[in-house]
Structure 1
Amino acid sequence: MPAPDWTELTRFALALAEASAREILPYFRRNTAVEVKDGPVWDPVTEGDKAGERIIRKMIEERYPDHGIHGEEYGWKEGTSPFTWVLDPVDGTRSFVCGMPTWATLIGLSHEGKPSLGLMNQPVVGDMFYGNPEGAWHSYRGATQAIRTRSGISLSQASIGTTAPELYRSEENQRRFQRLKASAQLTRYGGDAYFFCMMASGHLDIAMDCGLQPYDITPLLPIVTGAGGFAAEWTGGDLSKGGNVITAGSQPLLDEALAIMSA
């Protein structure tokens, strides 16, 4: 079987992001109706989420009909190829319904079960981050540059980004997080997927979140690793399946963070 053409697949992912933005943006800051999914926490969904995923799925099915698709809003479509697209059309819907431009469209592509291509698009700000086996990049208002993580930082010097402390719901995860927070220089909240891209760009040192679904993290891992970062599921689980995910700009920093969390 020929090697994947990552250049062509990346171009297609960028086209998916641009098409989804055209579908999602008409619902942003319009006080659009909010549905609430079943579950233990308030989990909103809007027509913007659904419209974004519909256009992405339509374009994939037309271009690559044998590829699998796993989306947050419309579930699984089994494929017959080694490729599966993993989609979160509006990651950070709570931010979306509050009018904050910290939500993002996440588009990932797994090859033979491994997250291999990923994209994060924030069309209001104009930020597009993407990564594949050849590297990671940031596009902003027409200019594109390669990105790299920051290295040589110890935990005592590190900045941490995570969505919200209350999402560490179990007592054990809360203890782990509080130990890590107490050992770092700075902790910021509310960035959702943005934090992982800021870490990949060298502006943060650790990005982490608890209880992630595959569509929350699969699109971000190729950006993190393509930029030279490292990732782990802190209970030892399979990163491609989500869970409790921590990423860092260097392996020594990740090891130091995991040691503190498991102390």
Structure 2
Amino acid sequence: MAATFSTTQRDDIVTTAHALADAARAAVLPHFRTAALAIDNKEPSGFDPVTDADRAAEAAMREVLAARRPQDAILGEEQDATPGTSGLTWVLDPIDGTRGFMAGAPTWGVLIALSDARNVHLGVIDQPYIGERFLGGLGCAEWTGPHGGGALRTRKTTSLGLATLMTTFPEVGTTEDRAAFTRVAHGVRLVRYGLDCYAYALLAAGQIDLVIEAGLHAYDIQAPIGVIEAAGGVVTDWEGGPVLHGGRAVAAATPELHAAALERLKG
């Protein structure tokens, strides 16, 4: 059974989510497009970068939670998990798209979600440099930015042949994952790459129709789940099941389009 929240609780959660995004913006923007950006590699056998900006943004968000909601657990990408007593967990990705951040491209974002063991209750995708914020859950589905704001609503596309598909990396996971993705890509109208979490925001805003990715962690996908589902879309794993804890994800504007994508992914 999904958790229920009073109006006061909902207001506090949404206010906290905005405070987290504001804190991350303030921490990360001074590092963006600077020559002095410090970069470490978390995976010696490959390349999994982390920067001072990642660490600063997560630390700033954790300070907000310690002051506002110390009863909640925290799962973040850059620090150890913090236990809580409320049954709720804030899931934080201080910079989703660190490679894009390093390249100076505004395709990265700050991801914030509130979930329990079964459901995402709220998601935020924030792009600090552009100044856009997408929030979904607890009765909200809205965006704000330098050109105003409004309601989030996915497109009504039901045909794969009319869809725009996005993913971050052309490789899309394993060789088998890539083959499955290619089956979907061959059936859509347009494929674009490299937008990291911003692709999910565009789906929720009604600009594109599909996002398919693999190799995700909980902190990569929970915020997009909250935002896209609130906007009327569908997010599952490649088998049609829950993707709360990461793995292979497919996000679609409509149930019909989601079913068509799943059919091709399964081959």
- The TM-score, its normalising length taken from structure 1, stands at 0.95
Unaligned runs of 5+ in 1: none
Question: Does residue 122 of the first structure (1) align with residue 127 of the second (2)?
Answer: yes
Letter in 2 for 1:30: T
Q: Distance in 2 between matches of 1:117 and 1:40?
A: 35
C-alpha separation in 1, matches of 2:251 and 2:169: 16
Q: 1:221 to 1:40 in 2, by over 3 A?
A: farther
- Structure 1 residue 11, shift from structure 2 partner: 1.6
The 3-state SS of whatever aligns with 2:186 is helix
RMSD of aligned Cα (Å) = 1.6
Q: Which residue of 2 aligns with 1:3?
A: 5
Shift of 1:161: 0.8
- Deviations 1:15-54, CA, capped at 9 Å, x for gaps: 1111111111111111311100126531110000000000
The CA deviation at 1:140 is 0.7
Distance across 1 between alignment mates of 2:19 and 2:231: 22
What's 2:165 paired with?
160
Q: Does 1:180 align with 2:184?
A: yes
Q: Distance in 2 between matches of 1:88 and 1:171?
A: 27
Does residue 262 (structure 1) correspond to residue 266 (structure 2)? The answer is: yes
CA distance in 2, matches of 1:133, 1:41: 39
Q: Which moved more, 1:232-241 or 1:123-132?
A: 232-241
Q: Which residue of 2 aligns with 1:37?
A: 42
- Which whole-Å CA distance do the structure 2 matches of 1:39 and 1:261 have between them? 32
Q: What secondary structure is seen at the aligned counterpart in 2 of 1:77?
A: coil
Q: Compared with structure 1, are the counterparts of its residues 224 and 2 closer, same or farther at alpha carbon in structure 2 (3 Å cutoff)?
A: closer
- Distance in 2 (CA, whole Å) between partners of 1:189 and 1:51 is 28
Where in structure 2 are there 5+ consecutive unaligned residues?
none
1:65 is aligned, of 70, 79, 82, to 70
**Equivalent of residue 15 in structure 1, options 19, 29, 38:** 19
Equivalent residues in 2 for 1:60-99, closer than 5 Å: 60-99=65-104
Q: TM-score, normalised by structure 2?
A: 0.94
Which secondary structure state, in structure 1, belongs to the residue aligned with residue 143 of structure 2?
strand
Instruction: For 2:207 and 2:45, locate their aligned partners in 1 and report how far apart those are by CA, in whole Å.
Output: 33
Residue matched to 2:149: 144
